[in-house]
Amino acid sequence: MLYIVGGGAIGSLVAAGAQKHGVPYQQYPRNVKHCPSSAVWLNGEIVTLQPACSMPSVLQADDVVVLPLKVYQLSQALHFWLPYLVNQPTVVLLHNGMGGAEIANDILGPDYPLLLATTSHGALKKETENGSVIVEYTGKGETQMGALDVQAFGCSNKTSSILTSKLCSKLPSKLSSAISLLSAALPPTHYCDDIQKALWSKLAVNAVINPLTAINNIQNKHILDSQFDKQRQAICSEFTATANAYGFSFCEKQVHERVMAVAKATGENYSSMHQDIVNKRPSEIGAINGYLIERAKQKGIATPINTLLTQQIKEIEAQFNTNISM
Ligand code: PAF
């Protein structure tokens, strides 16, 4: 069974995919009223979701729990779910930015079967004129998943080194069935043997697109405009210096090209940070540019542009709090 925590756009898209493809699932939003009751698929098909749940019971070892939550929501959610995870079902973290794995390791323990995932599927949560909440599948992408520690899935040291050297496609069965379950719900989902690099690569995309679109109130495609050339390049440069100081081997030019390609491919979309700011919700700036700044600081790398953008987003967020408390 697939358990989906939260009622956000991506979580509801996974739920709708499970519904559409006959994968058994349950969705546990924080607030049932704000959870989509249906989805509009890419071809316009309407998928009606089964009613959301509120109280889980103890999960089985072959169940999969997906947490498509913001990093700042993870600790509370994992503490809530902990008593139901005694049989060690696979936990999948699916969020923008970084820092989730550290939080999950602290709460679940280092040997827990934990998968990290990143997705490029597009989804938008909307309220319709009649007041119902829906999720729209706005763009087909793909999901990459990988384990920080394959041994937590019952894989021997020997198998794990074979696995990471790509010589063997045989994954531990708990790991492959978790991937199959998610892939059946929302295809395609691939196993990625260097999920850290995939997450850092997505971090670069989010570090550029998200704050620039949110601060300037623009769709993703507009960050391609020449007025953003300098900022785009400076963010990519700080990103590359930082990532490479941690042993990655990113090429600044390729990082910039990938950011541009994603901005083009998702051009008509408003980024998640843009949507958070417009809807006066806390953004993921801390887990994206904030994370980059912290990691850079530990290596003595200066991050003036990431610092400036982070300050600007924080100032906008502080404004909501002032307005709310007035
Ligand atoms: O956060 C987002 O909105 C997305 O990760 C991305 C790739 C920037 C596209 O909008």
Q: Read off the CATH number of the domain in which 119 is found.
A: 3.40.50.720
Better-predicted residue by pLDDT, 121 or 158: 121
Same structural domain, 121 and 154: yes
Distance 141 CA to ligand 1 centre (A): 11
- pTM, 2 dp: 0.92
pLDDT in tens, 69-123: 999 999 999 999 999 999 999 999 999 999 999 999 999 999 999 999 999 999 9
Domain that holds residue 68: 2-193
Beta partners for 96?
none
What angle is formed at CA 34 by the lines to CA 30 and CA 39, rounded to 5 degrees?
115
Same structural domain, 52 and 134: yes
Give the end of a domain, one of 162, 193, 224. Answer: 193
Q: Is a pLDDT exceeding 60 seen at residue 257?
A: yes
* pLDDT number for residue 156: 56
Q: How many domains does the chain have?
A: 2
CB 78 within 8 A of CB 52: no
* pLDDT number for residue 155: 65
Same structural domain, 32 and 151: yes
Distance 66 CA to ligand 1 centre (A): 19
* pLDDT number for residue 166: 45
Q: Is a pLDDT exceeding 60 seen at residue 326?
A: no
Same structural domain, 150 and 214: no
CATH number at residue 277: 1.10.1040.10
Q: Report which protein residue has its CA nearest ligand 1's atom 3.
A: 271
Distance 206 CA to ligand 1 centre (A): 6
Distance 144 CA to ligand 1 centre (A): 15
Beta partners for 221?
none
Residues having CB within 6 Å of any atom of ligand 1: 96, 205-206, 209-210, 220, 262, 266, 269, 271-272
Same structural domain, 154 and 294: no
Same structural domain, 51 and 157: yes
Same structural domain, 156 and 219: no
Q: Report which protein residue has its CA nearest ligand 1's atom 10.
A: 271
Q: Across residues 316-322, what is the average pLDDT? A: 87
Least confident of 155-164, 230-239, 251-260: 155-164
Distance 83 CA to ligand 1 centre (A): 33
| Cα–chain center distance at 285 | 13
Same structural domain, 48 and 187: yes
pLDDT in tens, 202-254: 999 999 999 999 999 999 999 999 999 999 999 999 999 999 999 999 999 99
* pLDDT number for residue 165: 41
Give the end of a domain, one of 129, 159, 193. Answer: 193
Give the end of a domain, one of 136, 162, 193. Answer: 193
Same structural domain, 140 and 7: yes
* pLDDT number for residue 150: 80
Same structural domain, 77 and 226: no
pLDDT in tens, 45-75: 999 999 999 899 999 999 999 999 999 999 9
Q: Across residues 6-13, what is the average pLDDT? A: 96
* pLDDT number for residue 204: 98
Same structural domain, 311 and 201: yes
Q: What per-residue string of b and e applies to 125-153 under the rule 16 or more CB within 10 Å gives b?
A: beeeeeeebbbbbbeebebbbbbbebebb
Strands ordered across the beta sheet of 122-127: 46-48, 38-40, 133-139, 122-127
Same structural domain, 312 and 290: yes
Q: Report which protein residue has its CA nearest ligand 1's atom 5.
A: 206
Q: What per-residue string of b and e applies to 298-326 under the rule 16 or more CB within 10 Å gives b?
A: eeeeebebbbebbeebeebbeeeeeeeee
